[in-house]
């Protein structure tokens, strides 16, 4: 079991999702339930009007939606209208070393694709692959890799079965070729 650690930024702005809310390599697929402007109070005590995105999943903090992420959602779902974003899924991840306010920071970003979270073959939810407490392959990486290789989104188990199934005919062909050589001699 990995050691439970608390990032110091969780204590400074605990009401919103930030890069500190993710384990290394972790990604979140969430369903948009609301997008609206709200007045928030920054860590310096100043009030600021920000666009806030809330999620349908329980116990998930809202995300302060910057312009980069708003444009990504618009491109992904081909609409600039926030009312049409409701009920859509987004996949959040941490982009490392993003230039913001004159320095490099880690930032929460939205993947530019419609997240597919279920396996095309077994219909089970695709989950990240963990190794030693860290994400080795995220849901996005698994979905993209299997979609590219097999023309459909597969979980790790079904991906392994498909790989073996595609390898089997090639092995059979090698055996047939070996048999032809033996009979020719």
Q: What is the pLDDT along the chain (185 residues), one digit of tens a residue?
A: 556 666 555 555 578 888 888 888 888 888 899 999 999 887 778 999 999 999 988 889 999 999 999 999 999 888 999 999 999 989 999 988 777 768 888 889 999 877 667 889 998 888 777 777 666 777 777 887 898 899 998 999 999 999 999 987 766 665 655 655 555 55
Q: Which of 65, 85, 115 is the last residue of a domain?
A: 115
* 180 and 103 assigned to the same domain: no
Coil, strand or helix at 137: strand
* 1 and 72 assigned to the same domain: yes
* 101 and 19 assigned to the same domain: yes
* 101 and 136 assigned to the same domain: no
Residue 10 CA: distances (Å) to CA of 22, 31, 108, 158, 178: 11, 23, 14, 38, 63
């Amino acid at each position: 079991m990995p050691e439970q650690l608390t990032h110091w930024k969780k204590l400074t702005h605990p009401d919103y999702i930030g890069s500190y809310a993710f384990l290394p390599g972790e990604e979140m697929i969430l369903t948009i339930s609301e997008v609206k402007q709200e007045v928030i109070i920054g860590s310096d005590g100043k009030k600021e009007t920000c666009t806030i995105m809330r999620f349908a999943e329980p116990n998930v903090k809202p995300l302060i939606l910057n312009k980069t992420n708003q444009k990504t959602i618009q491109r992904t779902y081909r609409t600039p209208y926030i009312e049409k974003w409701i009920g859509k899924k987004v996949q959040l991840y941490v982009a490392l070393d993003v230039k913001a306010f004159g320095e490099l920071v880690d930032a929460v970003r939205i993947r530019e694709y419609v997240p597919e979270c279920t396996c095309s073959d077994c219909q089970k939810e695709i989950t990240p692959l963990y190794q030693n407490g860290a994400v080795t392959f995220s849901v996005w990486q698994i979905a993209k890799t299997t979609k590219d290789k097999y023309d459909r989104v597969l979980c790790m188990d079904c991906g392994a079965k498909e790989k073996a199934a595609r390898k089997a005919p090639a092995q059979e062909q090698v055996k047939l070729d070996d048999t032809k050589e033996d009979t020719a001699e």
